[in-house]
Amino acid sequence: MQVGSDKLTRRHPLFGQILLSQGKITVEQLDEAIEQQLRSKTYLGEVLVELGAIVAADIAEALRIQSQYYPDGKGP
């Protein structure tokens, strides 16, 4: 059974994957943002905000979800 398998293996979802799964961004927007991130060396969330794809509250929610995989506060 695959339900909850990410938590069982402690594999954390990537920031962009969370936004995709929430329907906040499209694959195309993620690809564009990653390309720009590589050039600008900034956070993916900042790039997505600059592109108008998400707002600051979306960043906070995605980070909150991601942090649930690290209850001790130590991230990837």
Q: What angle do CA 14, 17, 18 make, to 5 degrees?
A: 90
Instruction: Report the candidate in 18, 13, 1 with the shortest Cα–Cα distance to residue 60.
Output: 18
Binning pLDDT at 50, 70 and 90, where does residue 61 land? very high
Residue 54 · residue 68 · CB < 8 Å: no
Structure tokens at 29: 């927007």
Q: For 2-28, how does the pLDDT look when each residue is reduced to its tens digit (9 = 90+)?
A: 444 444 455 778 999 999 999 999 999
What mean pLDDT do residues 52-70 have?
93
CB 48 within 8 A of CB 36: no
- In the chain, the percentage of residues whose pLDDT exceeds 70 is 79
Q: Looking at residue 9, what is its pLDDT?
A: 53
Kindly compute the dihedral angle of the four CA atoms of residues 12, 14, 18, 21, in this order, to the nearest 10 degrees: -100
What pLDDT sits at residue 10?
Answer: 58
